[in-house]
Structure 1
Amino acid sequence: MATRNAYLAYKRDTSRIIYWVVQTSNAIIKNLAVAADNAGGDGDGDDDGVPKEPNLSGAVTVAGLVTLAKLISKHVDNAPPAILGLFQSVIDARTAAHSAFRQFAARNPDPEILRSNASHKRFIDALVVAFEALGGKAALDSETGAGDTVPASTESKDDLDQLLLANLNSFAALNLQGPIEPEPESDDDTAPPMRRKQAKPGKGKKGKRAKKPKKTAVAAEPEPEVEDVPLESYRIIQDKEGIVTDYLMAVYDLVRHMMKLRGKMQEIWREVAYDGLNTAVAGAVSHIAVGMVQRTAAAMFIDFPGHDSFQTVMDTITRGDVDKCQGMFTMNLFQLPKHGAGEDAHKIVERDVDVKEQFFIHAYRDLLDFVLDFQKTRSGKPTKRMLADIKDWDPNFNLARATNDERIRWRRAYTINWLYDLTNVYSCVVVQRNNVKKEGHVLENVDWSPKGPWSMHRVLFGLQDFASFVTTLAMQKPGTDVRKRILPHHVFQLQCIVDSLAVSRGWSVSPLRGHIVVPPARGFRPRREVDLFMDRNSERMFQGYAQGAFVLEQILEKDSKETRGPSAYDQLIEITKLMRLDFQDWLGESKYKYGLNTIPPSRFSNTDSNGLWEYSPFLCGVGLAEALQLAYKLGMWLWDKLPDITYMVHLHNMLHQRGFIKQPVGLYASLEEFFPKCFYEGGKIPTSDFADALARHGKYVNQAMRLRHRETKLVANDAGSTIHELIGVDLNAVFTVKSDLILYHQANWNPDRIPDADIPLASLLQGLRLSQTKRVVDPATGKLTFEETDLVRRMREQKGKDASPDFLNEMAHRFETKSPLPGQPRGVPGLPGGGVGADWQIPESVRQQILQQFPGYELKTGLPVRGQQAPHTIAGHEIGDDILLDMYKMDLQRDVCGVAPRSSLNYAWVTARIKTTLMQIEAALKKGRYSLYREAYESGAPELGSLVQKRFALVHYACISTDDEALRAIAAVFENPRAGFMNHIYWDDLVGEMELPATTARREQENIMTPEPDGCLVM
């Protein structure tokens, strides 16, 4: 998806303007040269300052942009509306930034800022001159209607080519110097007509010269004239002040972006603490939010190498003096008019921004102070000076009665204590090797990365990347300057970690209202550590998995004893046991809780030696999210190795279809629904010929296993592989379905990187991706339709023959946006920085959530369609990242504890249950001396030598059996007791279809935070 960051949108729009200007002016320059040659001229042209050669670099100066715009204006009546819209957008962005910088300079007359502002003003003036030369606002209004806007951005290079190159190709027939004889053989009349100004009398007649051979106009090029120059390289060359201005725009926008995402994450962690949102969902969304900040910063700072550290960002935005900067930033709340009222938004509240709090300076300083203190001794113990600040941290401190400074000191003590525990736990393996075995590892040279040599010794779930980063800094030599290595997303992640605890105690931070503490008396649940802070979900997950895994290990050992020779079950038993022990030692609590004598004790030992987990909802959430992924991967890996599971699903289906089981058993019916293609050919459940269906599936499995054997062997031979890499779903032959958690994790928590082929159908991500899919003209109907991507193909297959021709259009229409009118504030009222345009066609579930949080706000449900681009264009900056996080949260909730809970199924317990049922069937048939049992187990046939072969034969014979008594005996085992799906999940209950959790507490707190619900926050 295109960026939703204002600076990156400005940067992208500027590149596209320069792209069009350079390509158009190049075409004019080349045609001028041809015309001059035909007229016998010297090719010098008549326009002062006009370049004689095309631009081959894609870069222009500010003055050069004006010159080229004036050149274009002499030969083209008006620029395309889309280009004028881009111009207007860039001018508006620069003007808004200039206005803010002038106010900043008025309060802080810094010479550098003053020089930058002067340069900024000259740049805006030049843009305006170029804009007006190309037609300006008058031309834009005449094309689109006064006050309307044009979709100013496209989402891909292909779309850009369609929008811009069509205009460039029209220069193929452009004649700037009078009629040019067409070549006789040319019959191409497909070039679009182009308006041009008539050549003025007298042009090209300054003197007689020797005639040159007449040339025709330059033929249209299918590709841009500037070869090998990517779109991002089309830019305006600026002086030092101009670069400083761009950097200022970037850092201010980045901080705004981080502030908005922080507010959304506080809201999500409040839902965990007070509304029962599953911590794994919050943990996964936290990863996505951190990734958003990381990608945004990386995209911004690619133009400013060496200036990407948070220290540089902080120094820039505060001009190096945080205290002096206080009072120079304000947050305004605007009242939004009702739709159709014909009124403008007006400001109703203005507040100074708490710079240290809102610009993440507290979190940054706490992190830096911890690293520098740890480096001094690298013993894992705070220095005496630091200990004086952080000792005796009280988890029961009454935040409601504390002053703001006391709360900040309390939070700082918690942050540094928690970072000490994190680093000590993460580094414990290496430190113990040094302390006990005297191995002498040089701490500053150790590769602490999650993929490093110590990765096989798992001591933490969900937070390895952050723990690796912090540990790497802390283990450097004393006094090592690490400031350049701390990036904005690191600080943002630490802030989210700390906020997850603070909001669970009722302490929230609002840009408009500052620090807000809601005491328990306002209706929140009691602050019991074991209830609020100990992650009960992690405990449930571990207990459920451990019980199932322990039983499964015993069943596999029994099967192993019945297998002759080296047993294939040995590896299954070993990995199942190792996973269980990993969860036991490090999920939800760690060995640190019971004391590791070779490293310092927990900094929270006075209150809870498991404080690393107990006092970090964030760690509980991300840890549980990873544990669910690993348990799922193990389940898929086991089922790929154990054909018994597939046999039993086929056997249950046959009994149900033939009426021996009246109502399908819930567990087996659910497995068929979740993994249809894993159990049946083409995913179609057979209703007859059950033995043939089983045989066809077995043949498919054998072929798939042979194809995957080489890949699995290569991974197994990799000395650096961990257990968790050995059981990757991608290495399976048949059970390759991925949970949503795995999809997001494999995409590095960037939903845009999830392949179309993997996107879950019936998800919000599906609808969002569909709305971004390129439209093409159907040659049969002449209508716009969707490009045949993997997602579109899958949706058509799922819908089947009954699908209406426009069902894809109808689905995409729900997610489309419309740009607001000029001057109309963007954003959902009450959310800092806005989020969604007023005319956005939101999914009903998201719409209800917005209305629930902001009662009385009117949301339009219609989407005016303008032209052919509007229906399939998403203006990326119109959909705020906060709204996207809500969408991702709902999809993840659906996977973790909702209507399609693949991640919540206890696969170890399900496997144990199904294999137990199979053994009970074997026992019942053996006791009854039924013939199908004797044929499978006692015939002595050579092809029935292994246990797996015997069980296949048993199911095969049952599928063709006419012995109703034997089949009734099998059905009785399935139904006594019936294995329900809900008996095999980790949680007590599931969330219904798009159901929102109880929100009384959250709405109460939101009302306190935002007293004017019908408003839009703007910094």
Structure 2
Amino acid sequence: MAGHNTYLTYKRETAELLYWVIQASNSIIQKTGAEDEDGLSLLNTSGKTTVYGLVSMAKLIAEHIGRQTVPPIVYRLFKSVIKAREEAHEAFKQLAAENSDPEVKKNNASHKHFIDALKEAFKALGGESETAKREADAGSLHEAQAAETNIILLANKFASLNLGTVNDEAQDDAEAASDASDGPAAAQRPQKKYSGKGKKGKRGKKPKQKQKKPVANEPPLVGVPIESYRIIEDKEGIMTDYLMATYALAREWIDLRGFMQKTWRQVAYDGLNAAVAGTLSNVAVSMLKRSELAMHLDFPGHDSFHTIMNTITRGDVEKIQGNFKLRLIKFYKAQAQTRVEEAALDVKEQLMIHTYNDLLDFVADYQKTRSGKPTKSMLAEIQNWDPTFNLQQATPEQRLKWRRSYTINWLYDLVNLFSSVVVQRNTLKGQNWALEKVDWSEDGPWSVHRRLFGLNEFAGWVTSLATQKQGTDVRNKVQPHSVFQLQCIVDSLMVSRGFSTSTFRGHVMRPPAHQFRPRRDVDLFLDRENERGGSGFLQAVDILEQLFERDAQMHGNPKRHTKHMEVLKIAQQDFIDWLGESKYGYVLKSISPSQFSNSNANGLWEYSPFLCGLGLMEGLEISYLFGMMIWDRIPEPFLLIHLHNMLVQRGYIAQPVGLYASLQSLFTDAFFIDGKVPTSNFLEALVAKVDAYNTARARATQQAARRSNAQASDVHGMLDVNANKFFKTPTTLVSYRKADWNYERVADSDIKPISMLAMLRVAQTELVVDPETGKLRPAETELTSRMRAAKLSEEILAGMSSMVRRMNNKNHEDPAMMARFAAMAEPGYMTESGGLRELSKKLKTGGQAGSESKVQHEELDLDGVDVLEFLKWDIHADVCGREPLSSLNFVWVTARFFIQFMQMEDELRKLRNPTYVRAYEVDPTLMREKRLSLAVGALRGGDEQCLRIMAEQFQNPRAGFMDHIYWKDLETELKTDKEIPRKEDDEFNDQVDTACSVM
């Protein structure tokens, strides 16, 4: 599982380890009939045990396995769990050294006892032997699959071992061993207290029976999921687990924050499209949400930011400052790691306490009047915020004060804008809505009134806190992911002004990005001033409206495109009013003016790269969904692609026209049956594609999807591409939103076969032995089937898995690893023999099963930053890179389609072409759909004049894909951070590859 924090990894691996141990122990007990001193079965029926029970089971297994070996994966799990506990213990010891709290020392003692017990169980199973060490470090690729399914297979395989040869003496020994521990049975006999430390109970020991009858061979844990396997701990043990969870969560957001600062810096300094950073921000927030959910399930009521901070700081931030150490480790090729430097962590900064306090102070101040105006005391603190303030010359205290003023001012504008729809009802229409009772959520009743793009969930959450009655304590309603999101909002502006923070160096200053404007990419998308004709969304809607009217007149149907234009005009007006700008500054006079009025009344957007990035992201999604909806309901896209293909195949067009060739490549499955481009029988190919939809099953599926869309609460659900007949391909942005930004929930059907996410998914797919070749290959899934259909060989699929796992191992000998991933994600690379030879040379996988060919790798457990690095390539490719569905202005392309047909029609009419005349002037039946009739006549063949004229007009002029994108250009490759030349930005960190450990 990739992208989860260390606590979730520890929790999962502990469950997997216990699954194997308990299943193996139960198998032995069933085959030997072992009982405890009271004649009760030792079978574990709950999946839960004490740490002593684990030791007892390990000894029982070791005593009865004979020459059978413990699977190497079990040793690896033991080592990983022990390592996680030891690392946490070291951190807690540091804390205890500076803290006289006896509770802390008691927890540490309990923690050490737990670690010792784990080591005892590990040793009992032979884990410290040289053979076990070699096997654990060099297991076969198949055995090293530590996914749950393989753990289950290993346990079941062990359970099937022939243990019937155990002699009577061994059975006696097993029975005696059962007297020494109550662990496996402790959770099954709650009514009888058991000693737990190997001591005899008060009852006398029953006479030993020389021969035990095996118990019924029925699995005692049927239906118990692997997630339910856990070690039962006392109060101190539970507290230790909670501390591990809180530290892991803090470590996770520190790492994710560092990644997002770097990404927003690339937006400001290197031109990275803001929508890429906005999407990655949402994915990062989703990662924290998943970690929080796991904490909530394990420790309900203890997952708020306030509780977590109190736990980590022991309720005293000032006292704990300096107690957390950060170590910088240098790695050299083929050499051991060495510590370079150690520094104290700025707890307030890295644990986001400054931002959290700013949020609470804003909420408390807003609640005092709920008028949208700061109190006098707050106004005195924040009113003189200067966007041009020289942060480089300021002291650290002055920077923090400037940042705090910005944060609170920006939050005031956000809440005032988001609550304006209700405030206006109260002030202008005399209504009496109680603000504290309003449902401000993005799915609430007021969501039908668009006020903001990109940040509706966060805005609704902050507004719900701020509009409560004065004095309402909101601390338990603040989750870490919300504080992290606000921190990213603030950081996005700070880094553009040259102010970033480092876990190791504190405040890092550089000259501000003087040429950067937060609205840069939003303005290109909309092009409000029509500075780049044919590029912006707003102008495209106006042009298409005129073309729709002309088409409606030609067909004698004034309402032919009415519904299409209604939805497009609504989207256009919403973009004008609420994307990049808002009515807040010049229309909504009934609410308080912007807190940034002294410098820029549109400061909510102008001073927030984060809001612009997320707003643009949503704008790109909506424009794409509208484009697909319209294309699915008009004939022009289908007809032109089929006509263009025929004219190219038959030689009327020597070189494919860029726009149509690109669209044919991007939507091959939408235009042609099974994605196969026809080279003959062109009319039959069009008819076959249309008929494929006209089956009863296809229509029923679409109708069900449309009913689902009609019940959706937002525009994204209403326009879900699943309800379309042909154009069902989601962009990367759309597929991530459908999965609520959780990349693990993106459906296999929505993942592009050649993508970084596909690589991640394949690396997590179980490997099986190919019965024909004897080689290991990823199991058959929907995604791997599609990848194989895309002509990716088994060698490539195995290579993907291996490369991702090498990234998992932090291979410092290969700094160009991500560049090779990017090369693999290029469609051409996968089909070129050179690329395949290079990949085969670099990757040594796919050996014979059971042979000596071994691959060193471990459970796929990339951290969140590693995962984001992968996903960044896919998101960039979609927004402005090699497969830029989201960058294409589909409204403008639709206009081009209509213009293309008009050009053909004008020339054919002048020449009185018979195919044209029949379709447009003679046959009433054909005249109902004139362009469809014209295209069918051309595809049928035989009218050379018609085909020649069409070919000429396709090239008059030759329309290019690049002529219809929102941006000035595309970037086919995404530069890594180290490929971007800098003077002083990362001089310290770029000297060597480093890995930091926070304590």
TM-score calculated relative to the size of structure 2:
0.88
The 8 Å contact of residues 845 and 994 in structure 1, kept in 2 or not, is answered as no
TM superposition shift of 1:139: 5.8
The 8 Å contact of residues 362 and 411 in structure 2, kept in 1 or not, is answered as yes
Alignment-derived partner of residue 467 in structure 2: 475
Alignment-derived partner of residue 806 in structure 1: 795
Alignment-derived partner of residue 33 in structure 1: 33
The 8 Å contact of residues 33 and 213 in structure 2, kept in 1 or not, is answered as no
TM superposition shift of 1:592: 1.4
Query: Using the alignment, how far apart are the partners of 1:656 and 1:206 within structure 2?
Result: 91
The 8 Å contact of residues 28 and 171 in structure 1, kept in 2 or not, is answered as no
Q: Which SS does the other structure have where 2:946 is aligned?
A: helix
The 8 Å contact of residues 140 and 854 in structure 2, kept in 1 or not, is answered as no
For residues 640-651 of structure 1, the aligned pairs below 5 Å read 640-651=632-643
Would the alpha carbon gap of residues 613 and 250 (structure 1) be closer, same or farther in structure 2, given more than 3 Å must change?
Answer: same
Q: Does 1:1015 align with 2:994?
A: yes
Q: Does 1:254 align with 2:249?
A: yes
TM superposition shift of 1:379: 1.2
For residues 248-327 of structure 1, the aligned pairs below 5 Å read 248-327=243-322
Q: Which SS does the other structure have where 1:554 is aligned?
A: helix
Q: Does 1:885 align with 2:868?
A: yes
Residues 120-149 of structure 1: CA deviation (Å, up to 9, x unaligned)? 122222222222222231266455288999
- More displaced 10-residue stretch of structure 1: 988-997 or 918-927: 988-997
Residues 754-803 of structure 1: CA deviation (Å, up to 9, x unaligned)? 1222211221122222222222233444443332211222122221xxx7
Would the alpha carbon gap of residues 642 and 731 (structure 1) be closer, same or farther in structure 2, given more than 3 Å must change?
Answer: same
Query: Which residue identity is paired with 1:59?
Result: K
Number of residue pairs aligned between Structure 1 and Structure 2: 937
Alignment-derived partner of residue 532 in structure 2: none
The 8 Å contact of residues 815 and 842 in structure 1, kept in 2 or not, is answered as no
TM superposition shift of 1:565: 6.2
Alignment-derived partner of residue 703 in structure 2: 710
Would the alpha carbon gap of residues 361 and 484 (structure 1) be closer, same or farther in structure 2, given more than 3 Å must change?
Answer: same
Query: Which residue identity is paired with 1:796?
Result: R
Would the alpha carbon gap of residues 751 and 108 (structure 1) be closer, same or farther in structure 2, given more than 3 Å must change?
Answer: same
- More displaced 10-residue stretch of structure 1: 746-755 or 980-989: 746-755
Q: Which SS does the other structure have where 1:351 is aligned?
A: strand
Alignment-derived partner of residue 187 in structure 1: none
Alignment-derived partner of residue 21 in structure 2: 21
Query: Using the alignment, how far apart are the partners of 1:178 and 1:478 within structure 2?
Result: 76
Q: Does 1:934 align with 2:917?
A: yes
Alignment-derived partner of residue 948 in structure 2: 968
Query: Using the alignment, how far apart are the partners of 2:597 and 2:762 within structure 1?
Result: 52
Query: Using the alignment, how far apart are the partners of 1:374 and 1:783 within structure 2?
Result: 65
The 8 Å contact of residues 767 and 779 in structure 2, kept in 1 or not, is answered as yes
For residues 370-449 of structure 1, the aligned pairs below 5 Å read 370-449=362-441
Query: Which residue identity is paired with 1:918?
Result: F
Query: Using the alignment, how far apart are the partners of 2:597 and 2:644 within structure 1?
Result: 53
Query: Using the alignment, how far apart are the partners of 1:959 and 1:848 within structure 2?
Result: 39
Query: Which residue identity is paired with 1:380?
Result: G
Alignment-derived partner of residue 731 in structure 1: 723
Alignment-derived partner of residue 75 in structure 2: 84
Alignment-derived partner of residue 953 in structure 1: 933
Q: Does 1:225 align with 2:220?
A: yes
Query: Using the alignment, how far apart are the partners of 1:102 and 1:84 within structure 2?
Result: 26
Would the alpha carbon gap of residues 83 and 430 (structure 1) be closer, same or farther in structure 2, given more than 3 Å must change?
Answer: same
TM superposition shift of 1:570: 1.4
Equivalent of 1:64 in 32, 50, 53: 53
The 8 Å contact of residues 542 and 584 in structure 1, kept in 2 or not, is answered as no
Q: Does 1:506 align with 2:506?
A: no
TM superposition shift of 1:420: 0.9
Query: Using the alignment, how far apart are the partners of 2:455 and 2:408 within structure 1?
Result: 17
Query: Using the alignment, how far apart are the partners of 1:771 and 1:44 within structure 2?
Result: 44
Q: Which SS does the other structure have where 2:805 is aligned?
A: coil
Would the alpha carbon gap of residues 916 and 481 (structure 1) be closer, same or farther in structure 2, given more than 3 Å must change?
Answer: same
TM-score calculated relative to the size of structure 1:
0.86
TM superposition shift of 1:153: 7.3
Query: Using the alignment, how far apart are the partners of 1:996 and 1:989 within structure 2?
Result: 19
Alignment-derived partner of residue 183 in structure 1: none
Would the alpha carbon gap of residues 473 and 707 (structure 1) be closer, same or farther in structure 2, given more than 3 Å must change?
Answer: same
Q: Does 1:175 align with 2:166?
A: yes
Equivalent of 1:533 in 490, 510, 518: 518
Unaligned runs of 5+ in 2: 172-204, 529-535, 825-840
Would the alpha carbon gap of residues 556 and 722 (structure 1) be closer, same or farther in structure 2, given more than 3 Å must change?
Answer: farther
Query: Which residue identity is paired with 1:264?
Result: F
Q: Does 1:98 align with 2:95?
A: no
Would the alpha carbon gap of residues 327 and 861 (structure 1) be closer, same or farther in structure 2, given more than 3 Å must change?
Answer: farther
Query: Using the alignment, how far apart are the partners of 1:208 and 1:571 within structure 2?
Result: 86
Alignment-derived partner of residue 819 in structure 2: 844
Query: Which residue identity is paired with 1:926?
Result: R
Would the alpha carbon gap of residues 709 and 789 (structure 1) be closer, same or farther in structure 2, given more than 3 Å must change?
Answer: closer
Equivalent of 1:982 in 957, 962, 984: 962
Unaligned runs of 5+ in 1: 35-42, 181-204, 821-826, 828-835, 850-859
TM superposition shift of 1:659: 2.5
Q: Does 1:109 align with 2:100?
A: yes
Query: Using the alignment, how far apart are the partners of 1:271 and 1:752 within structure 2?
Result: 26
TM superposition shift of 1:675: 0.6
TM superposition shift of 1:65: 2.5
Residues 220-254 of structure 1: CA deviation (Å, up to 9, x unaligned)? x6xx5313222122111111111111111111111
* Percent of paired sites with the same residue: 46
Query: Using the alignment, how far apart are the partners of 2:452 and 2:348 within structure 1?
Result: 31
Residues 324-370 of structure 1: CA deviation (Å, up to 9, x unaligned)? 1111011111222321x4xx322221111111001111111111111
Query: Which residue identity is paired with 1:15?
Result: A
The 8 Å contact of residues 345 and 503 in structure 2, kept in 1 or not, is answered as yes
For residues 137-148 of structure 1, the aligned pairs below 5 Å read 137-138=128-129, 141=132, 144=135
Q: Does 1:239 align with 2:228?
A: no
Would the alpha carbon gap of residues 813 and 157 (structure 1) be closer, same or farther in structure 2, given more than 3 Å must change?
Answer: closer
Would the alpha carbon gap of residues 100 and 996 (structure 1) be closer, same or farther in structure 2, given more than 3 Å must change?
Answer: closer
Alignment-derived partner of residue 200 in structure 1: none
Query: Using the alignment, how far apart are the partners of 2:135 and 2:591 within structure 1?
Result: 70
Q: Which SS does the other structure have where 1:302 is aligned?
A: helix
- More displaced 10-residue stretch of structure 1: 783-792 or 932-941: 783-792
The 8 Å contact of residues 640 and 732 in structure 1, kept in 2 or not, is answered as yes
TM superposition shift of 1:873: 9.6
For residues 449-848 of structure 1, the aligned pairs below 5 Å read 449-520=441-512, 525-526=513-514, 531-543=516-528, 544-563=536-555, 567-703=559-695, 706-707=699-700, 710-711=703-704, 714-715=707-708, 718=711, 721-799=713-791, 806-817=795-806, 827=810, 842-845=817-820
The 8 Å contact of residues 736 and 742 in structure 2, kept in 1 or not, is answered as yes
- More displaced 10-residue stretch of structure 1: 393-402 or 931-940: 931-940
Query: Using the alignment, how far apart are the partners of 2:18 and 2:801 within structure 1?
Result: 32
Q: Which SS does the other structure have where 1:137 is aligned?
A: coil
Query: Which residue identity is paired with 1:983?
Result: D
Q: Does 1:10 align with 2:10?
A: yes
Would the alpha carbon gap of residues 818 and 698 (structure 1) be closer, same or farther in structure 2, given more than 3 Å must change?
Answer: closer
Query: Using the alignment, how far apart are the partners of 1:874 and 1:748 within structure 2?
Result: 31
Query: Which residue identity is paired with 1:535?
Result: R
Q: Which SS does the other structure have where 1:400 is aligned?
A: coil
Would the alpha carbon gap of residues 161 and 818 (structure 1) be closer, same or farther in structure 2, given more than 3 Å must change?
Answer: farther
The 8 Å contact of residues 462 and 625 in structure 1, kept in 2 or not, is answered as yes
The 8 Å contact of residues 448 and 454 in structure 1, kept in 2 or not, is answered as yes
Would the alpha carbon gap of residues 475 and 405 (structure 1) be closer, same or farther in structure 2, given more than 3 Å must change?
Answer: same
The 8 Å contact of residues 436 and 464 in structure 2, kept in 1 or not, is answered as yes
Q: Which SS does the other structure have where 2:339 is aligned?
A: strand
TM superposition shift of 1:680: 1.9
CA RMSD for the aligned pairs? 3.1
